[in-house]
Amino acid sequence: MALSRRTGRSRYTLPVLILVAITVITLDYRNVAFIDTARDSTVDLVAPVTSTLKRVFRPVTNAWSGVFGYDELRSENERLRAELDEARGATLAAVDAEQQRSELLALLNLDYLGDIPTVAARVVSGTPSNFDATIEIDRGLVAGIREGMPVVTGAGLVGNVIRATDRRSVVRLITDPSFAVGVAVPAADDEGIAKGRGPDRALALDLIDAQSSVGVGSVVLTSGLEGSLYPAGIPVGEVRTVRHPAGSLQLDITVDSAADLDHLNFVKVVQWTPEPGA
């Protein structure tokens, strides 16, 4: 019996709710004032509760979004990183290509060697340690290269060949502590010896009299004295510092290398044969 009464009540309740809903919608559509007021009041009443619920569930919502957005974000980061690496690589390649082009042009325009024959070579490996200032080039005995021959760039002296095989040669750089070359300072009409002091250090210029007029910025060239392993006139560097130690009979001079030894790509081996008596 109770079930029958509940069923009958539900049967009448549904049509009534539908009728009320239709009435409210109609009144709202017609902009009836008390409906607007009631709606605004309801919104004001519910607003604090809604704000509280938003604050309570915001961490959950953020975590949920983070879980499902992580893969997408990671993919986007990887894509952007790949594009950045590609752009950086393209820039470096362009810079390197321009540098190599400049070096080749400088080699083609060598004029300080006159008609002395040369062999162009590519640098295939750099300095192996901080104590051994050498490079390896891709030309050797087959190309006419021999031990002792000078090696240059368009800017000036790089070093000399200390070992040669059929198709490879090892070049000792002028910064090597065992390297020494006779030089001239035309501006002061003086001569001395330039010596290596180790990688990334300026050369030392010895045997320059304390009364010499050698100054900062003076150009230093190979002297080419009789029997020299180097022809005259190859740029060696430019004077960086000049000091006159108290009581010393010679100046304390350092020289910056004319050739950029840190960025060698191409060089020329000078097929120079010292005069008898070397």
Going residue by residue through the chain (278 aa), what tens digit of pLDDT does each one get? 544 555 555 556 655 555 555 555 554 545 555 555 555 555 455 445 455 545 555 555 555 555 555 566 666 666 676 666 666 655 544 555 555 555 555 566 677 888 899 999 999 987 655 567 999 999 999 999 999 999 999 899 999 999 999 999 999 999 999 999 999 999 999 999 999 999 889 999 999 999 999 999 999 999 988 778 899 999 999 999 999 999 899 999 999 999 999 989 999 999 997 765 44
Q: CA-CA distances (angstroms) from residue 77 to 70, 81, 82, 158, 267? A: 10, 6, 9, 45, 43
Cα gap 88→166, rounded to integer Å:
38
Please say whether the beta carbons of 208 and 194 come within 8 A. no
Indicate the DSSP class of residue 131: S
Sorted by where each starts, the structural domains of the chain and their CATH numbers stand as 116-278 (2.40.10.340)
Bridge-partner residues for 270, per DSSP?
Answer: 118
3-state DSSP percent of the chain in helix, strand and coil, to 5: 40, 25, 35
Backbone angles phi, psi at 271, to 5 degrees: -80, 70
Please say whether the beta carbons of 250 and 109 come within 8 A. no
> Would you mind telling me the total number of residues written for the chain in this entry?
278
Cα gap 238→185, rounded to integer Å:
9
Cα gap 216→193, rounded to integer Å:
17
